[in-house]
């Protein structure tokens, strides 16, 4: 028993000791393997996550590079020296002919890149490809490819491909080759906008020597004595508490808005801005419905509207731009409300002068706000209402040399067809004084102005119809109650010379040229004739009174602006009804044009479609400009839109009120109208954002 027990004890002890040591080693190794595996797994997972993150970051950088490339190319299209063409309407065939010049323009533009490796472009088939171009992130680059659309060469398909590491992403968008003026008014001299003149579209002037470059009157200030005081007070508030020259307080500007509210001003119509229109609404909206009806706008003393022309001008804003265009809500509905979207200028003002230069020319005690009155509402949200120091890239070249009117001349005279002459109709002819049926008359020019420049003896054509006729230089006629059909072309001596006999472009030389006499000395009261005046013989000073004009008027292009010896006046009830060519009503790049009456601005309604090109133009009376006004001459003091008083130099029409009212003028840029042939300006390459897609 004892032996057996000892054996059992020894065996038990030995086995127990051995089991303890083996189990610990096994467990230790097991945990070691597990921890090692977990460590390896965690390391592998971390490495994968880092790689995935890097890949995703590269993808994001590649996409960002592609988007940057598209914006970069859009900017290059805008700023590069784009090809010019005299063709007005860009058809697919015209666009195809322009493609080689566009490629060259792009290559020339990229030749200025700082990195020589980014300058080369290649042509693969019909596709232009750029080199890789680095972004701010040195690892990300993009390349651009540009291909005309096979179905319509006016459309350029632009693909921007961004790369970063192994990642590649692309975006694409179509750009349209087009040619537009893109301004309601653009000119070389200061622009004046009178009462009851509203503009839809940008306004630009490139003068840097004449001030103020833009002068506008309030449309509401003179309606009632109480409103005058309120408008003046608000103007003073803006001068001291508002930054900018748009005459509007943005309610999102908490500091200015709070100051305006503390002064008693608020956004009465809820459009997000506090301006003169809110004062107008508070003055006349008797029932508080946010609209002014004709009844509310009627003077209880006279029983008439306070200003019928102004009411109609505002109610006519935003009209249809083409046949079949959707008519906006509230158009000519007899109510003025938010649907009309009133602003004095609904577009940006672009000025070549600087803000400092303008301030240095201000009369004592005045500010720029004193010379720009009325709300200015840029069409692009966030754009500055007034842009100073514009560059040539901001406005097309207004030089008269860029305008060729020969295509209009070719549509007149005997070259256009058989000549017909009857007592009431002249067709396809060059007119002469012998055709006049009303004798002669001596007139001052401008007609009815107290500050006239010259006196002309005119042959008188009365109650006649002219179809595709040419007016020779030196005719200087009065057309009274006549009808002009087809195209009318006015000829001039184009080579203007100075006192030394040299060709000149200087408007001061042009005035001297106009005053040159064959005999005697010039004075404004001397009656000029073909016998005593060279300015009379070589130019054409014409007046159209109570005429109907059913087609475009065009003229030879002089080398210099010559003031009164190249001047047209449209008076009485002259009516424009262009049935021939919707691209242009007037193309006379150096001609001075006076449109409307000095004594009764409501008496000469005018409707001008397409472009109106003039050396200078003053429009009074009532009418619509549905296109663009382009002023190419630099000799006039200003371009005047609206009534400014009986003197050509007047700027205060507040008293006396002319008989028949103040007139009204709606000027609107119409992007749907093509340009006429002969305007040699750069094409546009504009993005069609609706075609933007990711991927190539």
What are the tens digits of pLDDT across the range 628-639?
999 999 888 899
Q: What separation in angstroms does the CA of 265 have from each of 102, 149, 231, 256, 577?
A: 53, 54, 11, 11, 44
Domain carrying residue 106: 2-179+685-694
The stretches of 419-522 forming alpha helices (DSSP H) are 507-514
**Tell me, what's the pLDDT at 604?**
60
In a domain, 641, yes or no: no
In a domain, 6, yes or no: yes
- Which two structure tokens, joined as six digits, stand for 659? 């008989």
Which pLDDT band, with edges at 50, 70 and 90, does 362 fall under?
very high
Which pLDDT band, with edges at 50, 70 and 90, does 13 fall under?
very low
Let me know: does 234 contact 362? Beta carbons within 8 Å.
no
Closest CA to 575 of 603, 596, 599, 547: 547
Place of tokens 């996550």: 49
Tell whether the model's pLDDT for residue 9 goes beyond 60: no
What's the total number of domains in the chain?
Answer: 2
**Tell me, what's the pLDDT at 607?**
82
**Tell me, what's the pLDDT at 656?**
40
Let me know: does 693 contact 171? Beta carbons within 8 Å.
yes
Question: Could you give the CA distance from residue 196 to residue 691 in angstroms, rounded to a whole number?
Answer: 40
Taking only the tens place, the pLDDT of each residue in 59-105 is 899 999 999 999 999 999 999 999 999 999 999 999 999 999 999 99
In a domain, 35, yes or no: yes
Share of the chain above pLDDT 90, in %: 80
Q: What separation in angstroms does the CA of 213 have from each of 123, 519, 542?
A: 46, 39, 29
Please enumerate, as own/partner, the contacts of 301-308 that have beta carbons within 8 Å and a separation of 24 or more: 306/223, 306/224, 307/196, 307/223, 307/661, 307/662, 308/661
Taking only the tens place, the pLDDT of each residue in 429-443 is 999 999 999 999 999
Q: What angle do CA 44, 49, 53 make, to 5 degrees?
A: 150
Q: Specify the higher pLDDT residue, 652 or 473.
A: 473
Place of tokens 């102004």: 310
Taking only the tens place, the pLDDT of each residue in 262-271 is 999 999 999 9
Closest CA to 107 of 125, 123, 120, 124: 120
- 604 contacts: CB under 8 Å, gap ≥ 6: 570, 571, 572, 573, 574, 595, 596, 597, 620, 621, 622, 623
Please enumerate, as own/partner, the contacts of 291-299 that have beta carbons within 8 Å and a separation of 24 or more: 291/335, 291/336, 291/337, 292/335, 292/336, 292/337, 293/334, 293/335, 294/334, 294/335, 297/336
In a domain, 100, yes or no: yes
Question: Could you give the CA distance from residue 262 to residue 211 in angstroms, rounded to a whole number?
Answer: 35
426 and 562 in a single domain? The answer is: yes
Mean confidence (pLDDT) of the chain: 91
Q: How many Cβ atoms are within 10 Å of 475's Cβ, its own excluded?
A: 24
Q: Give the residue-averaged pLDDT of 412-422.
A: 97
In a domain, 654, yes or no: no
**Tell me, what's the pLDDT at 45?**
63
Which pLDDT band, with edges at 50, 70 and 90, does 290 fall under?
very high
Closest CA to 490 of 413, 436, 424, 427: 413
598 and 690 in a single domain? The answer is: no
Tell whether the model's pLDDT for residue 379 goes beyond 50: yes
492 and 613 in a single domain? The answer is: yes
Question: Could you give the CA distance from residue 249 to residue 271 in angstroms, rounded to a whole number?
Answer: 11
**Tell me, what's the pLDDT at 34?**
78
**Tell me, what's the pLDDT at 21?**
59
In a domain, 94, yes or no: yes
| Phi-psi group of 531: left, alpha or beta (phi > 0 → left; psi -120 to 50 → alpha; rest → beta) | alpha
Phi and psi at residue 491, to the nearest 5°: -95, 150
666 and 690 in a single domain? The answer is: no
690 and 586 in a single domain? The answer is: no
604 and 689 in a single domain? The answer is: no
Let me know: does 462 contact 481? Beta carbons within 8 Å.
yes
- Which two structure tokens, joined as six digits, stand for 407? 């295509």
Q: Give the residue-averaged pLDDT of 313-327.
A: 95
617 and 689 in a single domain? The answer is: no
Strands 548-549 and 639-641: unpaired
Least confident of 38-52, 158-172, 243-257: 38-52
Three-state secondary structure call for residue 295:
coil
Phi and psi at residue 395, to the nearest 5°: -135, 140
Taking only the tens place, the pLDDT of each residue in 555-600 is 999 999 999 999 999 988 888 999 999 999 999 999 999 987 656 6
- Which two structure tokens, joined as six digits, stand for 207? 């003068």
Three-state secondary structure call for residue 588:
strand
457 and 549 in a single domain? The answer is: yes
pTM: 0.87
Closest CA to 62 of 152, 149, 147, 140: 140
Which pLDDT band, with edges at 50, 70 and 90, does 17 fall under?
very low
Which pLDDT band, with edges at 50, 70 and 90, does 663 fall under?
confident
**Tell me, what's the pLDDT at 49?**
55
Question: Could you give the CA distance from residue 23 to residue 12 in angstroms, rounded to a whole number?
Answer: 17
84 and 103 in a single domain? The answer is: yes
Which pLDDT band, with edges at 50, 70 and 90, does 11 fall under?
very low
667 and 689 in a single domain? The answer is: no
Q: Which helix (H) or strand (E) holds 192?
A: strand 191-193
In a domain, 128, yes or no: yes
What helix, strand, coil percent values describe the chain, rounded to 5? 25, 30, 45
- Which two structure tokens, joined as six digits, stand for 555? 């003229």
Q: Which helix (H) or strand (E) holds 262?
A: helix 254-262
* Cis? peptide before 212, omega within 30° of 0: yes
Query: For the chain, give me the number of helices (H) and strands (E)?
Result: 10, 41
**Tell me, what's the pLDDT at 33?**
73
Let me know: does 171 contact 157? Beta carbons within 8 Å.
no
Taking only the tens place, the pLDDT of each residue in 188-232 is 999 999 999 999 999 999 999 999 999 999 999 999 999 999 999
- 67 contacts: CB under 8 Å, gap ≥ 6: 160, 162, 171
- Which two structure tokens, joined as six digits, stand for 110? 């990229």
Place of tokens 């242009």: 584
Tell whether the model's pLDDT for residue 4 goes beyond 50: no
623 and 539 in a single domain? The answer is: yes
In a domain, 240, yes or no: no
Q: Give the residue-averaged pLDDT of 341-368.
A: 97
Q: Which residues pair with 204 in a beta bridge?
A: 186, 350
**Tell me, what's the pLDDT at 54?**
61
Closest CA to 378 of 576, 117, 89, 184: 184
689 and 569 in a single domain? The answer is: no
């Amino acid at each position: 028993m004892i032996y057996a027990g000892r054996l059992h004890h020894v065996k038990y002890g030995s086995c127990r000791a051995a089991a303890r040591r083996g189990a610990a080693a096994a467990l230790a190794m097991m945990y070691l393997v597990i921890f090692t595996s977990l460590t390896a797994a965690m390391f592998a997972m971390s490495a994968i996550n880092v790689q995935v993150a890097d890949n995703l970051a590269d993808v994001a950088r590649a996409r960002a590079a592609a988007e940057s490339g598209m914006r970069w190319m859009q900017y290059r299209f805008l700023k590069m020296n784009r090809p010019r063409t005299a063709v007005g309407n860009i058809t697919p065939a015209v666009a195809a002919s322009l493609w080689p010049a566009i490629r060259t323009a792009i290559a020339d533009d990229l030749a200025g890149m700082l990195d020589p490796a980014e300058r080369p472009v290649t042509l693969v088939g019909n596709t232009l490809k750029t080199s890789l171009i680095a972004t701010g992130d040195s690892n990300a680059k993009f390349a651009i490819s540009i291909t005309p659309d096979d179905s319509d060469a006016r459309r350029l398909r632009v693909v921007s491909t961004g790369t970063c590491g192994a990642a590649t992403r692309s975006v694409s968008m179509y750009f349209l080759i087009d040619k537009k003026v893109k301004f309601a008014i653009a000119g070389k001299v200061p622009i004046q906008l009178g009462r009851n003149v509203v503009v839809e579209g940008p306004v630009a002037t490139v003068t840097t020597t004449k001030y103020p470059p833009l002068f506008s009157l309030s449309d509401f200030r003179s309606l009632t004595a109480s409103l005058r005081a309120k408008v003046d007070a608000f103007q003073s508030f803006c001068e001291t508490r508002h930054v900018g020259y748009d005459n509007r307080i943005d309610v999102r500007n908490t500091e200015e808005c709070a100051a305006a509210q503390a002064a008693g001003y608020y956004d009465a119509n809820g459009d997000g801005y506090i301006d003169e229109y809110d004062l107008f609404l508070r003055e006349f909206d008797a029932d508080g419905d946010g609209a002014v009806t004709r009844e509310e706008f009627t003077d209880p003393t006279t029983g008439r509207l306070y200003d019928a022309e102004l009411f109609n001008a505002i109610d006519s804003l935003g009209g249809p731009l083409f046949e079949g265009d959707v008519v906006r809500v509230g158009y000519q509905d007899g109510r003025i409300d938010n649907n009309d979207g009133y602003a004095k200028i609904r577009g940006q003002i672009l000025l070549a002068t600087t803000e400092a230069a303008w301030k240095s020319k201000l009369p004592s005690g005045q500010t720029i706000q004193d010379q720009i009155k009325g709300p200015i509402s840029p069409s692009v949200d966030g754009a500055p209402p007034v842009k100073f120091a514009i560059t040539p890239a901001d406005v097309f070249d207004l030089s008269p040399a860029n305008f060729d009117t020969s295509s209009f001349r070719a549509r007149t005279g005997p070259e256009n067809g058989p000549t017909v002459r009857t007592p009431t109709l002249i067709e396809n002819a060059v007119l002469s004084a012998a055709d006049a049926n009303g004798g002669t008359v001596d007139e001052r020019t401008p007609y009815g102005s107290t500050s006239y420049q010259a006196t002309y003896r005119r042959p008188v054509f009365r109650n006649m119809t002219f179809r595709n006729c040419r007016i020779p230089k030196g005719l200087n006629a009065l057309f009274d109650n006549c009808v002009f059909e087809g195209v009318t072309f006015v000829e001039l001596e184009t080579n203007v010379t100075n006192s030394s006999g040299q060709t000149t472009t200087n408007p001061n030389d042009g005035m001297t040229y106009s005053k040159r006499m064959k005999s005697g000395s010039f004075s404004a009261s001397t009656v000029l004739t073909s016998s005593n005046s060279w300015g009379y013989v070589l130019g054409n000073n014409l007046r159209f009174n109570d005429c109907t004009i059913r087609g475009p008027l065009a003229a030879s292009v002089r080398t210099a602006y010559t003031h009164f010896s190249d001047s047209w006046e449209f008076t009485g009830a002259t009516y424009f009804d262009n049935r021939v060519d919707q691209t242009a009503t007037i193309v006379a790049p150096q001609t001075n044009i006076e449109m409307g009456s000095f004594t009764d601005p409501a008496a000469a309604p005018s409707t001008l479609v397409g472009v109106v090109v003039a050396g200078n133009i003053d429009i009074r009376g009532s009418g619509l400009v549905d296109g663009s006004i382009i002023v190419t001459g630099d000799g006039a003091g200003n371009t005047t839109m609206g009534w400014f008083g009986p003197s050509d130099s007047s700027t205060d029409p507040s008293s006396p009120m002319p008989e028949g009212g103040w007139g009204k003028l709606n000027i609107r840029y119409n992007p749907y109208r093509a340009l006429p042939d002969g305007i040699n300006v750069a094409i546009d390459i504009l993005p069609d954002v609706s075609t933007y897609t990711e991927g190539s």
